[in-house]
Amino acid sequence: MALAAVALAWIIVAVALRVVYAGEILAGTRVAGVSLAGASPDVARRRLASISPANRVVSVVHGKQRFAIRARDVGFDVDVAATASRAMQAGRRGPLAGLGSDVTALVVARDVKAVYV
C-alpha cells in the first residue's frame, strides 16, 4: 500500500512537471554547463549561442610550421537549432515518455550533448 502511494505521488509530480514545462525545456537540462531549464526553444537558442566555439583558436602543427586557425574558418560550430531541439526532447522519451526522469531531474542534472556542424 505504501509503495503504491509513493508510485502514485511520483506520477502526479511528473505529470504536474509536464504541465508546468509544456513548450519549455524540462527542469535540470543543461548543455555544456549552460542551464536550459524552463527555456522556450527561442530562449534556448540564444543561450546556446554563448557556447559557440566559432571564435576559438586552435593551433595546428605541420612539420615545423605552426598555424593558428579559428574554428569558424574551417566550418566548426554548434548547431544551436538542432541542440535546442535535442534539449527540448531530453527526458520526453522512454517508458511513459520519460515521466520518471522529470522528477529525478529536480535533483540530478540532465546533460545533453551539443550538436556540432
3-class SS string, 14-66: HHHHHHHCCCCCCCCEEECCEECCCCCHHHHHHHHHHHCCCCCEEEEEECCEE
More confident residue, 26 or 30: 30
Q: What is the pLDDT of residues 98-113, one digit of tens each?
A: 666 666 666 678 899 9
Domain assignment present for residue 117? The answer is no
Domain assignment present for residue 116? The answer is no
> Taking the CA of residue 91 as centre, how many other CA atoms within 13 Å lie in the half-sphere pointing to its CB?
30
Q: In the chain, how many domains are there?
A: 1
pLDDT band at 94, cuts 50/70/90? low
Largest CA distance in the chain: 73
What's the confidence (pLDDT) of residue 24?
92
Q: What is the pLDDT of residues 48-93, one digit of tens each?
A: 988 878 778 888 899 999 988 888 788 888 899 999 999 998 877 6
Domain assignment present for residue 16? The answer is yes
- Which residue segment(s) compose the domain that 68 sits in? 2-111
pTM: 0.71
The residues, ordered by sequence, that sit 6+ positions from 25 with a Cβ below 8 Å of its Cβ are 36, 37, 38, 39, 40, 41, 44, 84, 87, 88, 90
